[in-house]
Amino acid sequence: MIKDLANFNKIIAHLKQIRFLRKMLMKRTKYPILVIIIITVLLISNGLFQNFSFAISPNECKVLKIYDGDTMTLQCQSAKVKVRLYCIDTPEMRQKPWGTQARDYLRSITPQSVRLVKIDKDRYGRIVGEVYSGDINLNLAQVEAGKAAVYNTYCKKQEYKEAENKAKEAKKGIWSQSGLHQKPWIWRRRSRN
């Protein structure tokens, strides 16, 4: 309630500023550039621009390729980036049928355009981040569906662990049968040796 009241007061303040600025613009002024600069500074400092959605936001990306259940290539503005999904690890493609199922599920829930929230870079130079379709966190959706395990070494968010526990209890996806597909990091280590 208090937060709604604060937002309401902020909107009223913005409307008052807009009325004031409109009056200023209607008057002939000697310094039109100065008026424009003042308006821009006021709008930015009050966070008014944050409420507008632009056609392509800086973190809006086109999906180019989904390799497996936790890696994809995106076109974000002019840059092509390889993204490793934060907090999760899915079976490798050679871990049949689990790897294929994880990749196919991710493909089925991923639209052509996604929002990327960058968190880090890994040792291979890939962006580590969370990928969203609207408000849906695709990383978390992989865990909830039982297609991915939580990569505890790198995951700091409790919601992933909670989702994994629910998937385990329901015996979804990789949790329906025991094996190394539940711990892809161990499978990779053993397959290198």
Indicate if 84 belongs to the active site. Answer: yes
Enumerate the β-bridge partners of residue 131: 116
> Per the structure block, which two tokens stand in for 48?
């008014």
Task: Tell me which of 60, 126, 159, 162 is the catalytic residue.
Answer: 126
3-state secondary structure of 154: coil
Closest by CA position to 99, among listed 193, 189, 182, 190: 182
Indicate if 164 belongs to the active site. Answer: no
Task: Tell me which of 22, 28, 84, 103 is the catalytic residue.
Answer: 84
3-state secondary structure of 122: coil
- DSSP code string of 67-92: EETTEEEEEETTEEEEEEETTEE---
Task: Tell me which of 19, 22, 60, 92 is the catalytic residue.
Answer: 92
Distant-in-sequence, close-in-space partners of 125: CB < 8 Å, separation ≥ 6: 82
- Rounded distance, CA 3 to CA 1, Å? 5
> Among all residues, which ones are annotated catalytic?
84, 92, 126
